[in-house]
Chain A
Amino acid sequence: KAGVTQTPRYLIKTRGQQVTLSCSPISGHRSVSWYQQTPGQGLQFLFEYFSETQRNKGNFPGRFSGRQFSNSRSEMNVSTLELGDSALYLCASSPGGSEQFFGPGTRLTVL
């Protein structure tokens, strides 16, 4: 079974731009979660989707948004990028049990 895939793996943007990151979960997994990892704040939960519905949301500004499609693939969007948005963005999928399987991440650099 293929693992969680994230595209792109690396991204460089400038302040004020917007960005869309994509995550394809493991086949059959309906839950997708997003996390932001920075050296200062560590790993922080962004949001979780299940069957196209956002079930849980972390403490991030409204510039961070996401969605999930009927095939469980998920996208997250960050508008009006700030320097502090530079981070590794990790996506995780779950079959609905206790485990979450992470993808390799997208490393976003904002200049």
Chain B
Amino acid sequence: AQKITQTQPGMFVQEKEAVTLDCTYDTSDQSYGLFWYKQPSSGEMIFLIYQGSYDEQNATEGRYSLNFQKARKSANLVISASQLGDSAMYFCAMREGQKGGGGSNYKLTFGKGTLLTVNP
């Protein structure tokens, strides 16, 4: 079974409107983290937002917010007031693993991504 599922291969949104990108995950760990990254055509992965499994509040970073529904195992990204520069691939990722002394011992498992196109 896939650990991270992004069901929307592509999404379109009008400039200045809000858009929600879906992400569901599967893990038996109690402690885990969920990430969203943006990848423009240049290839670099840009960190957007992080949600820890024990965080009670939904994470927000500027125009990005993460709608975390733990019981449903979903971590949807909401982008408010879309801009043309938001057009890119968006990846949801999960960290599982143990915290080791001096740092985190983990790897990221990524979904297949959603290609977002913002129309003027």
Contact = CB atoms under 8 A, between A and B. Distances in A.
A101 interface: yes
A93 B45 CA distance: 12
Interface in B46-68: 46-47, 50, 52
Interface in A52-80: 55-56, 58
A98 B52 contact: yes
Given A31-B104, A58-B107, A99 B47 contact: yes
Interface string B81-116: 000000000010101010010111111111111000
Contact of B104 (A44, A94, A105, A107): A94
Interface residues of chain B: helix, strand, loop or mixed (majority): strand
A101 B97 contact: no
A85 B75 CA distance: 32
A109 interface: no
A108 to B, nearest CB: 12
Count class of interface residues, chain A: 20 to 34
Say whether chain A's binding surface is mostly helix, strand, loop, or mixed: strand
Contacts of A105: 43-44
A22 interface: no
Interface string A79-111: 000000000101010111111111111010000
Interface of B: 33, 35, 37, 42-47, 50, 52, 91, 93, 95, 97, 100, 102-113
22 contacts: A30-B102, A31-B103, A35-B110, A42-B113, A43-B91, A43-B108, A45-B108, A50-B100, A50-B102, A50-B103, A50-B105, A55-B100, A56-B97, A58-B107, A90-B43, A92-B108, A95-B103, A96-B103, A98-B33, A99-B47, A100-B47, A104-B42
6 nearest CB pairs, A to B: A96-B103, A102-B45, A43-B110, A45-B107, A104-B44, A105-B43
